[in-house]
Structure 1
Amino acid sequence: MRKKITLLFFIVTVFFSISAFAAISQAEKDVLIKLNQVTNGQKWINKWDISQPMEKWYGVKIVDDKVVSINLRNNNLTGRIPVEITTLLNLQELNLGTNLLNGEIPLNIGNLKSLQVLDLSFNKLTGFIPVSVCSLPNLKALVLDRNILSGELPQQIGKLSMLENLSLYENSFQGQLPASFYELKSLKSVSLYTNRFTGKLNSAIGNLIMLENLNLFDNDFKGQVPIELEKLTRLKKMNISYNLFTGQVSNKLSLLDKLNMTMRNEVGNVVSLPVIKG
């Protein structure tokens, strides 16, 4: 009798194990296989053995039989990001940073409504930020540093109400910051340095009360430095130098800026903004 119970327990355990594995969508598996194929998976540093269960694939996290995270950072991926990746509707993290990816960000990236982290930094991506990014209600980090991206920030960027980290440095973005940018009240860190942003900083920047780090170094912002920056009591790091700002600044803001408000003038010469003492 005991042997029969043991055998029955073994059969039930095997059945549920097979069922759990089978519960992982074949469609999701096919998407990951496609990602592997188009990014030259044979040359990855940490390769996938697709004969193994998906739970064992490097950088893939599965919860409740759904792919929730793909983190293949610094893994020698080449080629383009397959558009099929935008069908992984339970994905919370997509980190393909520090690789050799080219081409554009998939236009319908906004389909990934559960996405919290999008990190495509340190690649060779071109094109612009798709407007659909602005329809990611849970996005906390948008990290696109060191690519060859251009164009303006989407006008609807203010819809990213959960966004805490906006990092776009060393690209070729241009134009003014859209009005909705100043509605991103969850922002803690903004790194836009070494781009081609222009226009004035709106006094509404004082609304970004959670901001701890602001780096606008080496752009073409102009006009007066908003005194409203002093309202940002959490601000610990700031660098807005090497822009075209003019006028006077307070001593408090000057001391907060990493380069003490060193600017460029219209002909490219380096100048320092006059500081109001006291």
Structure 2
Amino acid sequence: MSNTPLSSASQAIVFYGAGSMAEAIARGLIASSAAKSEQIAMFNRSNTERLKQLEANYGVVTAADAETQNELLSKAEIIVLAMKPKDAGAAIRRLTPLIQGNQLIVSIIAGLSIPTIQSLLGDKLPVARTMPNTSSTIGLGATGISFSEEVTPELRSRTLSIFEAVGMVSVIPEAQMEILTGVSGSGPAYVYYMMEAMIAAGIEGGLSPEQARELTVQTVLGAASMMKQTGEKPADLRKAITSPNGSTQAALEVLDQYRFTEAVKSAVHRSASRSQEMGAAIEAELA
């Protein structure tokens, strides 16, 4: 864990965008005492009911009018870009006359590169590009982070503290952000897809929907925990429960017939290439 504290200044972190991921990060920061609720500000384009809900639930500062929003942005230590990709261009251009050279820009916008953000801002400001996943909403996220050259060790430590509050963090070169998206960004969906199939098979075999769900959830949770706690390779754990000519071996042979490994690897690489395509489209639109 990074222990660099946020300053005691008001609204040290401002979330420009107030969706589910921004909420998850803010909640994690408060729950882990990485930031006090009064140090966090959040706003969006027009959903005032959403802002009232966030203020009531977490005690964060919110702002509905442009003047207050601009003041928050100009004074923030860290600005988290958490808007939808289609709104990114206008939002980042709005920042240009407001930001200071010592502020850190943290982006959780999928596909938007550091050079593009800096270009839109009109200056090579410190930028951290991140890719959290949805498990961040329960504090078990996996986040990839890439830093621009302008990010100081202190700002780097503060960024890590933000995302460590909602899970684990992996610092990577920006060139690897797409493959990370394929592995951990989209990864929860692959696991859920397999769980859907396991539950369906259980019901087909006579289990109740509740039994099939509970057994599947616990099986996946136990397998992940086993791998994390033992540090063993998944292949070794798999072999340990695969008796020759047993039921598990028979099941794995069926998966092999359907080219399970190749399918999953292809899915990861396709997610990565699609992420790259989406990023190129966003950047072309913003150019």
Which category describes the TM-score, using the shorter chain as reference length? under 0.3
- TM value normalised by structure 2: 0.25
Structure with higher RCO (Cα < 8 A, 6+ apart): 2
- The structure where strand makes up a greater share of residues is 1
- TM value normalised by structure 1: 0.26
